[in-house]
Amino acid sequence: MNSGSNQGSLVRVEEGDVAIVTLCAPPVNAISSALRSQLTMALNALAASNASVVLLRGEGRGFCAGADTKEFAGRGGDPVLTVESLSASTRFWEAVYDVRVPVVAAMHGFAIGAGMVLGSLCDFRLASANCKISMPEIAVGISVAGGGSQLRRLGLREGFIRDLLLNGDTIGADVALREGLVDRILPDKDFEAASLAWAKHLARHGRPALMAMKAALNLTEAAKDWRAGNALTRSLSVNFVESSMGRREHAKSA
């Protein structure tokens, strides 16, 4: 499978012992509904492949700049569209987490908002030395998907999570490594080759062993139940949108 051969494709897949899945949505690989759908399908399709490891990376200047905010304006505050989007988002996060083999996120340049959430649901996060990370949703008045539950599954300090989400400041790869948000820092030069080499080293154990070990790890991690956080945040977000619409309608009629 090589979805990069299809015109208009936002996700390119190169099969092999390490399946390379590349976000190719210029200029910043923002997660639009189309990219989300294509990536979900690409990851689900890998269940039938021979890949032992999946390497997830971004084309161009950075890994992923988060949600495509232009689509928010198109919803016009419609709660039905918001519910549909949140449900699709939930399926998307679960598709990333549920890949049967280890997924390695190779984050170069920047990982912002939902882009960092995407990385957090992978099994490993490799960051380039110059990678900048932020969760800026607070600045535009929206909540982070899952209320940060995806970050909590990494065992991060609660104070660090709240600082990241409530302040929205940008941090460097060194801080992210110190806090456990990323697992390795690789040099900026030849980052793509170095991250592929790292993934290939992991793949040496073979698909059956890696699948079995990941399944065991995911089962034991279920006690943290980040999926419940996703569901709770979805209901809170819907209530917020409906409440906002009610206030606007009341203001119009006043």
Q: CA-CA distance, 119 to 55, in Å (whole number)?
A: 11
The DSSP-derived string for 138-161 is GGGT-PPGGGGHHHHTTT--HHHH
Q: Give just the sign of the alpha carbon dihedral 225, 227, 230, 231.
A: negative
Closest CA to 211 of 12, 7, 59, 54: 54
HSE (side-chain half, CA atoms, 13 Å) at 69: 14
Q: Is the pTM of this model over 0.75?
A: yes
- Residue entry with tokens 């099969």: 15
Token reading at 65: 């700049």
**CA distances, 95 to each of 89, 113, 196, 216 (Å):** 10, 18, 22, 17
pLDDT of residue 37: 92
pLDDT of residue 116: 95
Q: CA-CA distance, 203 to 235, in Å (whole number)?
A: 39
Q: CA-CA distance, 54 to 20, in Å (whole number)?
A: 6
Q: Which amino acid is at 149?
A: S
Region of 76 on the Ramachandran plot (φ > 0 left; ψ -120 to 50 alpha; else beta): left
pLDDT of residue 152: 85
In contact, 114 and 93? CB cutoff 8 Å: no
Per-domain residue ranges of the chain: 3-188+214-253
> Which pLDDT tens digits describe the chain residue by residue (254 residues)?
444 434 479 999 999 999 999 999 999 999 998 999 999 999 999 999 999 999 999 999 999 999 887 776 655 545 444 555 666 777 888 899 999 999 999 999 999 999 999 999 999 999 999 999 999 988 877 766 566 778 888 989 999 999 999 999 999 999 999 999 999 999 999 999 999 999 999 999 999 999 999 998 888 886 566 666 566 555 555 555 445 444 455 555 55
Region of 6 on the Ramachandran plot (φ > 0 left; ψ -120 to 50 alpha; else beta): beta
- β-bridge partners, 112: 134
Q: CA-CA distance, 16 to 233, in Å (whole number)?
A: 37
Q: CA-CA distance, 111 to 14, in Å (whole number)?
A: 22
- Residue entry with tokens 């997924």: 103
The architecture of the domain spanning 3-188+214-253 is Alpha-Beta Complex (3.90)
Q: CA-CA distance, 65 to 133, in Å (whole number)?
A: 9
